[in-house]
């Protein structure tokens, strides 16, 4: 498996997207193509497609070094997003793979990295007394998945400090799905706003930053001020337009949704 070489100067920069066949990648791909050449990396891919889709398991350091060759930026979306998984699963699917990606990025001196974190990294703040939650607060994960994202962010900070690369961590809300339940209205990230957010993050030159990724929701539970000011993110959508279609909670998830938290 040979990764593509960088195109000559004058071509669009190359962004490598891990988890390239996943829900978030599928949503933001049309936006990425507006400004970047794209290399999608996913272990579920069975064949290489037109040079854009590359089958690889990013848990394999050698394979990851190969697929990152020539990258101008990395959008790391791969991982297990289930809040019900065990810590062992979180480490294997989310922490270890992030470490592998960052080590390969360092080997290739990739100057820009965007890491997909999650609101679960701050899940314990999802209470009325904290709304809208400030991303500068100390992390308070609500589950093993959220804890894994806190570790991902720490790995990203260490990478930025050691290599000088620009690392942006995005604590994404509900992405790639409609807010089918009322409790999701305050954390919804529309498909178009997800695309706007990714382009803003990829274009940012901050050394290191952590920002919430949600739309311009009327039910504002998560403060996007830093994403707006430091990344230039301009969300346009509001979950309130879909509120009439949102039903009651379907059951417990994790402490991101405390039983006493109003919907």
- Measured CA to CA, the distance from residue 51 to residue 100 in angstroms comes to 23
SS3 (DSSP) at 250: coil
- For 263, residues 6+ apart whose C-beta sits below 8 A from its C-beta are 181, 182, 183, 248, 249
* Alpha carbon distance 204, 147 (integer Å): 26
Whether residue 150 is contained in a domain is answered as: yes
**What's residue 261's pLDDT?**
78
The rounded distance, in Å, linking the Cα atoms of 263 and 257 is: 9
Omega of the bond leading into 175 within 30 degrees of 0 (cis): no
pLDDT at 3 over 90: no
123 occurs within a structural domain = yes
Query: pLDDT averaged over the chain?
Result: 94
Select the highest-mean-pLDDT range: 6-20, 37-51, 75-89: 75-89
pLDDT in tens, 214-231: 999 999 999 999 999 999
Is residue 6 predicted with pLDDT exceeding 60? no
List, by residue number, the catalytic residues: 145
Calculate ∠ Cα 175-179-184, nearest 5°.
85
The band of 259, judged by pLDDT with boundaries at 50, 70 and 90, is: confident
DSSP at 222: B
Q: Is the pLDDT of residue 210 over 60?
A: yes
Q: Which residue matches tokens 């272990």? A: 43
CB contact at 8 A, 197 and 235: yes
d(CA 76, CA 201): 12
* CATH code for position 168: 3.40.50.720
pLDDT for res 50: 65
Q: What is the pLDDT of residue 9?
A: 47
258 — pLDDT class (breaks 50, 70, 90): confident
Q: What is the mean pLDDT of residues 58-71?
A: 98
Given a cut of 70, whether residue 2 has pLDDT beyond it is: no
The total number of structural domains that make up the chain: 1
Domain that holds residue 186: 14-245
pLDDT digits (tens, 9 = 90+) for 114-160: 999 999 999 999 999 999 999 999 999 999 999 999 999 999 999 99
Q: Is 7's pLDDT higher than 50?
A: no
Q: How far apart are the first and last CA of the chain?
A: 49
Q: Round to whole Å and give the CA distance between 204 and 58.
A: 25
Give the tens place of pLDDT for each residue, 162-204: 999 999 999 999 999 999 999 999 999 999 999 999 999 999 9
Mean pLDDT confidence for 57-83: 97
Q: Which helix (H) or strand (E) holds 90?
A: helix 87-90
Instruction: Determine the pLDDT at residue 18.
Output: 98
pLDDT for the residue 10? 59
**What pLDDT is stored for residue 246 in this prediction?**
97
Which pair of structure tokens corresponds to residue 165? 């690369």
Cα–Cα distance list, 262 to 72, 79, 213, 218, 254 (Å): 43, 30, 21, 15, 15
């Amino acid at each position: 498996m040979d990764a593509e070489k960088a195109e000559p100067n004058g071509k669009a920069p190359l962004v490598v997207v891990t988890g390239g066949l996943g829900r978030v990648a599928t949503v933001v791909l049309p936006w990425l193509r507006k400004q970047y050449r794209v290399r999608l990396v996913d272990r579920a891919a069975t064949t290489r497609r037109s040079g854009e889709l590359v089958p690889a398991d990013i848990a394999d350091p050698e394979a990851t070094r190969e697929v990152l060759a020539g990258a101008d930026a990395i959008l790391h979306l791969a991982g297990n997003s289930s809040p019900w998984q065990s810590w062992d699963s979180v480490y294997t699917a989310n922490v270890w793979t992030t470490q592998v990606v960052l080590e390969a990025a360092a080997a290739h001196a990739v100057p820009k990295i965007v890491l997909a974190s999650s609101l679960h990294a701050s899940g314990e703040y999802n209470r009325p007394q904290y709304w809208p939650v400030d991303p500068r607060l100390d992390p308070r994960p609500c589950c093993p998945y959220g804890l894994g994202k806190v570790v991902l962010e720490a790995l990203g900070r260490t990478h930025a400090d050691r290599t000088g690369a620009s690392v942006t961590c995005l604590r994404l809300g509900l992405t790639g799905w409609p807010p089918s339940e009322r409790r999701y209205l305050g954390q919804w990230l529309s498909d178009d706003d997800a695309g706007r957010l990714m382009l803003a993050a990829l274009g940012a030159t901050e050394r290191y930053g952590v920002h919430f990724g949600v739309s311009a929701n009327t039910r504002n539970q998560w403060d996007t001020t830093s994403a707006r000011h430091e990344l230039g993110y301009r969300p346009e959508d509001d979950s309130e337009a879909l509120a009439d279609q949102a039903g009651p909670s379907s059951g417990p998830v994790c402490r991101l949704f405390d039983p006493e938290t109003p919907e």
